[in-house]
């Protein structure tokens, strides 16, 4: 990086360099007095990210020996925090290096402020967990690591601080490293999210291995804390993930323009892509990607854009636009990990408001599957969760929404719960399992006698019917696989096989049984010309030979028209 003092400093070069920087968010937490605030103050100070007047304002104050700046005072922003010498709420700090812009969420270590720790971890790419080398692993470090992992933070950087107090001894560092690695493994197993960890021995007060590598610990060959943070990949959803776009707003300035505004939650969208709108299941093609700065050919997560589609379909705020070939699941019954954040404990069967992407749905917690004791990672039987409690629950939504599992998507797999009386945000949730793939969440209780078509479709999530494909075998394979992924149960019958289906009456009888059972009879024929078609009910559609994604989208549309696929939204609102 050109520095100001070099005579060749050029602001134009500087700005070009700035444009090459990305943004990296990390959270920090640890037990009280582990030195977290000092560490952050040190990172800011050593990267020249604090101004002199801010340093002057804290000189001679705080708890350090005279002459030494108490860096913690740079970050503890509330009066109560300075008076009590503890961190109560998240403070956000900013600094940049030649490679990156950083946002730190400095979070409290106290158990009673766990919810603020979760706030900081929810958007973090990495978590820096502090351990006081003279004290070893305390529950707070464990708690932070657990919450970071639960919230899908992949990279955990363990800074073992106050190495100066133990004479920079390698042995103690290694033993903490060993113990905490084992704990991190168990945490990763419990949360189901993989954890990558790095251990760095530091002294925040003296500045060892914070920004610069320290000569006091020659036995340590690794990177300084800042070097580690500069080289970690961000853990956000990548552009290679399936396209997800929660609609925030319909933009309609005139009769000639109708666009859907939102922020791309994951993946990439390109003009010409086929998309499906959930939960309605309607399909369309993207004709424009509109921004104030001009139309784009293609856009990726996390840009905020406005999509224009090729046909008038009913779309409103809260709908999820997805790639036609890889859809999210529309569901009303979910299992989720929950962090409870309110003084009033969780109440089963009480109505909460669930906010997921850009929509809010009433929901009830039908069961607490277990409570996790973070100190021991034991699962305990429980009927409620109290403030700062963590556990797994079963949820029932009043109307179906389109979701992904949290481990697949940090945006479309997350939700918060709001108490409709107090309006407090009472819980943060991460979807772990989806129990129904359709809107038909109604229990099938009390029935006897022969099964009805309604009961079957409630169970399968679709109606019975015939899907006739004249298509090459590999395309039929793709379509069959896609149907399976979307919860359709199809029985494939290759019509060209010599026996026994060459007997037409037998074939017809088999097909009829399949349809009566509420399943899809997927009949595959070799195409006799290069025309590839799908036929169902009284509808026939030509399939694009060169684009499997388009062909699959067309099949979905066909199943809807033939009323094999159920219109999930309507069903859910009944």
Partner 1 sequence: MPVTQIAAQSLPVPIPVPSSHEHLSHLRLLEAESIHILREVASEFERPVMLYSVGKDSSVMLRLAQKAFYPAPIPFPLLHVDTGFKFAEMLSFRDEMARSVGAELLVWRNESAIAAGTNPIALDTRRCCGLLKTQALLDALRHYKFDAAFGGARRDEEKSRAKERIYSFRDSAGQWDPKNQRPELWNLYNARVHPGESIRVFPLSNWTEMDVWQYIHEEKIPVVDLYFAKERPMYVRGEALLPIEQAFVAHRDEMPQMVRSRLRSLGCSPCTGAIRSDADSIPAIISELLSFRNSERANRAIDHDQEGSMEIKKREGYF
Ligand X SMILES: Nc1nc2c(ncn2[C@@H]2O[C@H](COP(=O)(O)OP(=O)(O)O)[C@@H](O)[C@H]2O)c(=O)[nH]1
Q: Tokens standing for 240?
A: 């290679």
Residues from 472 through 511 that contact partner 1 (CB under 8 A) = none
Minimum CB separation from ligand X for residue 35, in Å?
Answer: 3
* Beta bridge partners of residue 365, listed in sequence order: 395
- What is the four-CA torsion angle of 28, 30, 35, 38, rounded to 10 degrees? 20
Of positions 65, 66, 67, 79, contacts partner 1 by CB under 8 A: 79
Minimum CB separation from partner 1 for residue 7, in Å?
Answer: 5
Find how far residue 345's CA is from the centre of its chain: 26
Nearest CB to ligand X, comparing residues 37 and 536? 37
392 binds ligand X (CB under 6 A): no
* Beta bridge partners of residue 60, listed in sequence order: none
Minimum CB separation from ligand X for residue 166, in Å?
Answer: 10
Q: How far apart are CA 571 and CA 280, in angstroms?
A: 10
Q: 568, 330 in Cβ contact below 8 A? A: yes
Q: How far apart are CA 389 and CA 547, in angstroms?
A: 49
Q: Is 165 helix (H, G, I), strand (E, B) or coil?
A: helix
Nearest CB to partner 1, comparing residues 53 and 528? 53
Phi-psi region of 571 (alpha: psi -120 to 50; beta: other; left: phi over 0): alpha
Inter-CA distances, 477 with 119, 242, 482, Å: 44, 20, 9
107 binds Mg ion (CB under 5 A): no
Number of separate helices (H) and strands (E) present in the chain: 14, 27
Closest by Cα among 283, 351, 352 to 319:
283
Minimum CB separation from ligand X for residue 61, in Å?
Answer: 12
User: Quick one: which segment of 395-403, 412-420, 463-471, 494-502 binds partner 1 (CB under 8 A)?
Assistant: 412-420
Instruction: Kindly write out the interface string for residues 139-168 of this chain, putting x where it contacts ligand X by CB under 6 A and - elsewhere.
Output: ----------------------xx-xx---
Minimum CB separation from ligand X for residue 113, in Å?
Answer: 12
457 binds ligand X (CB under 6 A): no
Q: Is 516 helix (H, G, I), strand (E, B) or coil?
A: helix
**Which position's Cβ is nearest ligand X?**
35
Instruction: Kindly write out the interface string for residues 426-465 of this chain, putting x where it contacts Mg ion by CB under 5 A and - elsewhere.
Output: ----------------------------------------
Number of residues counted as binding ligand X (CB under 6 A): 19
37 binds Mg ion (CB under 5 A): yes
Minimum CB separation from ligand X for residue 357, in Å?
Answer: 35
Nearest CB to ligand X, comparing residues 36 and 154? 36
Residues from 213 through 272 that contact ligand X (CB under 6 A) = none
Q: 480, 421 in Cβ contact below 8 A? A: no
Residues from 17 through 76 that contact ligand X (CB under 6 A) = 30, 32-38, 63-64, 72
Supply angle C-alpha 476, 479, 483, rounded to 5.
Answer: 140
Positions touching ligand X (CB under 6 A) are 30, 32-38, 63-64, 72, 87, 161-162, 164-165, 203-205
């Amino acid at each position: 990086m050109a520095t100001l003092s070099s005579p060749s400093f050029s602001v134009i070069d500087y700005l070009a360099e700035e444009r090459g920087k990305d943004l990296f968010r990390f959270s920090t937490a640890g037990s009280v007095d582990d030195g977290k605030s000092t560490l952050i103050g040190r990172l800011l100070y050593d990267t020249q990210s604090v101004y002199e007047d801010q340093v002057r304002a804290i000189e001679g104050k705080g708890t350090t020996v005279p002459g030494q700046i108490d860096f913690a005072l740079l970050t503890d922003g509330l009066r109560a925090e300075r008076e009590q010498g503890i961190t109560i709420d998240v403070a956000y700090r900013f600094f940049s290096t030649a490679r990156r812009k950083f946002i730190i969420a400095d979070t409290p270590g106290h158990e009673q402020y766990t919810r603020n720790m979760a706030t900081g971890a929810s958007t973090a790419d990495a978590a820096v967990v502090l351990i006081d080398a003279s004290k070893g692993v305390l529950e707070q470090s464990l708690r932070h690591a657990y919450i970071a992992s639960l919230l899908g933070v992949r990279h955990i950087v363990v800074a073992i601080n106050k190495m100066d107090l133990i004479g920079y001894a390698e042995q103690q560092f290694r033993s903490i490293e060993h113990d905490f690695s084992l704990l991190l493994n168990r945490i990763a197993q419990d949360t189901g999210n993989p954890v990558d960890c790095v251990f760095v021995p530091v002294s925040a007060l003296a500045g060892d291995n914070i920004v610069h590598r320290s000569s006091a610990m020659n036995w340590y060959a690794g990177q300084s804390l800042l070097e580690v943070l500069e080289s970690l990949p961000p853990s956000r959803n990548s552009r290679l993930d399936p396209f997800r776009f929660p609609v925030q707003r319909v933009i309609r300035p005139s009769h000639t323009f109708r666009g859907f505004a939102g922020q791309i939650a994951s993946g990439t969208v390109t003009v010409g892509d086929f998309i499906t709108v959930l939960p309605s299941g309607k399909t369309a093609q993207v004709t424009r990607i509109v921004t104030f700065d001009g139309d784009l050919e293609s856009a990726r997560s996390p840009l905020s854009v406005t999509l224009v589609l090729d046909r008038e379909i009913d779309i409103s705020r809260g709908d999820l636009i997805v790639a036609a070939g890889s859809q999210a699941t529309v569901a009303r019954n979910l299992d989720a990990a929950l962090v409870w954040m309110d003084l009033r404990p969780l109440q089963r069967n009480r109505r909460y408001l669930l906010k997921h992407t850009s929509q809010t749905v009433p929901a009830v917690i039908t069961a607490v599957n277990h409570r996790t004791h973070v100190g021991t990672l034991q699962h305990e039987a429980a009927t409620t969760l109290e403030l700062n409690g963590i556990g797994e629950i079963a949820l029932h939504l009043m109307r179906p929404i389109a979701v992904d599992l949290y481990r697949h998507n940090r945006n479309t797999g997350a939700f918060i719960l709001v108490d409709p009386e107090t309006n407090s945000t009472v819980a943060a949730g991460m979807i772990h399992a989806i129990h129904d793939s359709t809107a038909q969440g109604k229990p099938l209780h009390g029935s006897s006698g022969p099964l009805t078509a309604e009961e079957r479709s409630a169970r399968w999530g679709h109606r019975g019917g015939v899907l006739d494909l004249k298509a090459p075998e590999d395309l039929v394979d793709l379509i069959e696989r896609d149907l399976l992924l979307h919860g359709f149960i199809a029985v494939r019958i290759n019509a060209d096989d010599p026996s026994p289906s060459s007997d037409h009456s037998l074939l017809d009888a088999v097909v009829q049984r399949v349809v009566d059972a509420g399943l899809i009879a997927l009949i595959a024929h070799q195409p006799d010309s290069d025309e590839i078609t799908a036929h169902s009910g009284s509808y026939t559609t030509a399939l694009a030979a060169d684009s499997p994604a388009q062909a699959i989208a067309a099949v979905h549309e066909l199943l809807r028209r033939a009323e094999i696929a159920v219109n999930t939204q309507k069903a859910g609102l009944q």
